[in-house]
Amino acid sequence: MDFRLKIFCSAAEHKSFTKAAQLNFITQPAVTKNIKELEGELGVSLFERKNARVELTQAGKVYYEYAQQLLKVYEEAQFKVNELKGSFNGRLNIGASTTIGQYILPRVLAEFKQKHPQIIIQMLNANTEEIEKELQESKIDLGFIEGHSGKSSLKYEPVMDDEIVAVVHRNHPLFAQEEISINELKEQDFVLRENGSGSLDVIADIFNKNQIRLKDLKVQAQLGSTESIKTFLEYSNCIGFLSIHSLKNELLSGKFKVLEIENFSIKRQFNAVYMHGNFDGIPKLFLDFFYMYNKKL
């Protein structure tokens, strides 16, 4: 494989020669040199500089489309040969939304890495909306998300069950209470995830089915991660809605408590998501491994 294609694609995807250098373990001058060589061979400029970023020219966009295909074919060929040998090397580029990326995937990735030490793992953490966008832009090969928007270009596979629960800190006035009604819930203060979060979409959907709109709740803050919500709960009298998978340590220590809501539950599934069409190679190898790992839990 022409290493320059890989450098070119990295720079195109991240709009940065610096980032391309970091991802390919070379210096930025080496990236510039390789790009200039490509441009010299083709007789066109592939990038134009815009402030601190680089953007593809029209010729660059055309070349990028075919360069991606060439790299994909190379990776598939390498995977098939490695499959015959019984050993694998290459890259696993995945994305994961907050809960599954922080509380579930790290231990699965660690075991996967032990089994396939030659595979380089890179994981992006973002919300569901951003993960779907990264897949559509071919920046990652596989995503794990909470909920989904149902984009027609993407395929979704349920991989794991989850439950979102109402939770309070031990200093909250309701900590001693076992259950709360929907009507009582409306009088409480809340901290929720940010717009675009799969968790927020699921919560909003369940509330809507119970004739409650999020805008009717007393939402004091919307934060971008589970851990930030946990910290916020420590210093406020708010109720949070979090995945049961994210609360294991806090529930065991008595720091937080699940507040049951009368005749109300928020069940959901985590989904694997990838582009329609060919889904093979290392991403599929990892997804199959995830399914086997999940059976042991």
Averaged over successive runs of 10 residues, the pLDDT of the chain (297 residues) comes to 84 91 89 93 93 91 90 77 70 91 94 92 91 90 85 91 95 94 90 88 89 90 94 97 94 96 90 86 92 80
Instruction: Name the segment(s) of the chain with CATH classification 1.10.10.10.
Output: 3-83
Bridge partners (DSSP) of residue 89 are: none
Residue 296 near residue 111 (C-beta atoms within 8 A): no
The distance of Cα 101 from the centroid of its chain, to the nearest Å, equals 6
Burial 29-56 (b: 16+ CB within 10 A, else e): eebbebbeebbeeeeeebbeeeeeebeb
Query: How would you class 84 by CB atoms within 10 Å of its CB: exposed for 0-12, middle for 13-18, buried for 19 or more?
Result: exposed
Chosen CATH of 163-267 out of 1.10.3720.10, 1.20.810.10, 1.10.10.10, 3.40.190.290: 3.40.190.290
What secondary structure does DSSP assign to 180-202, as a single string? E-HHHHTTSEEEEEPTT-HHHHH
Please give the pLDDT value at position 216: 86
3-state secondary structure (DSSP) of residue 22: helix
Please check whether the domain covering 86-160+270-295 is classified as CATH 2.170.130.10.
Answer: no
pLDDT tens digits, 272-281: 999 987 787 8
Please check whether the domain covering 3-83 is classified as CATH 1.10.10.10.
Answer: yes
Please give the pLDDT value at position 297: 61
Instruction: List CB contacts of 248: < 8 A, sequence separation 6 or more.
Output: none
Amino acid at 212: I
